[in-house]
Amino acid sequence: MCKLNFFTRFIALKANTTDEKIYLIPFILILAGLIFCSCANPLQPVNTEEAERVKAELRDRSFRQFEPSRDATKRKAVILDFFNGVELWTQYAEGQMALSEWSISSEDYRIEKAGSEYRIYFETPRSEQILPTQCHNCIETSGISISIRDLFDRKKMRFKLNISNDDFPRPFPIFESWTAFEEDEYFD
C-alpha cells in the first residue's frame, strides 16, 4: 500500500493544474482496482470436506479436447481422466500417425481454490512417454497443474492447463486459456 500511496502522490505532484489532477483521479482509481483484484483471490488449499466433494464430483469421469479438431490433419489432443486419481494424457498426431504421446498420472491429488477455480496438483506423479521412444518417469512432472472453473455446472465447466516451464514435449503448449472439454464415457 505504501508504494501505491507514493505512486499516487507522485502523479498528483506531476500534474500542474487542478484540472489535470481531476483527470488523473479516475486513472488512479482504475489502477488501484486492478492491483487489488489481481491480489484479491489467491489460491488457497481447500479443507478435507471440500476436497472430498471435489474428488467425488470428478471420480470416474473423463474429459478430452482436440486442437484444432478431432479430424484435423495436424492435431493436438489432451485427455483428463479421473478414474484412479488423475491422469493427463497428451498426443500430437499428423494424419493417422501419432508422433508424440505421453502422460502424467497420480493416484491422488491436492486441490487449491480461488473463486470458482479449483486447481489440481499431482501428488507423487508418475510419467510415461509412449512415443517417439518409450520410457518411464522421463517427462518432467513439476510445473504442471490442471485448473477447473465452474466444476459443479456441467454446461459452464472449463479447463485450463497451467504450465510453468517450456520443457514439456509436444503437444504443449496447449489449452492454456479456459477451454470447454468434451466429456466421454469410460469404456473397459
The predicted-structure confidence for 133-144, as pLDDT tens digits, reads as follows 999 998 888 889
Of 150, 186, 183, 181, the residue nearest 76 (C-alpha) = 181
- 4-13, 132-141, 144-153, 176-185: which range is least confident on average? 4-13
pLDDT digits (tens, 9 = 90+) for 95-120: 999 999 999 999 999 999 999 999 99
**Helix (H, G, I), strand (E, B), or coil: what is residue 101?**
strand
How many angstroms separate the first and last alpha carbons of the chain? Answer: 57
To which residue does cell 486441490 refer?
111
For the segment 1-22, the average pLDDT, to the nearest whole number, is 51
Helical H segments across 44-149, by residue range: 48-58
Domain residues of the chain, as ranges? 2-40, 48-184
Read off the pTM: 0.74
In this model, does residue 11 exceed pLDDT 70? Answer: no
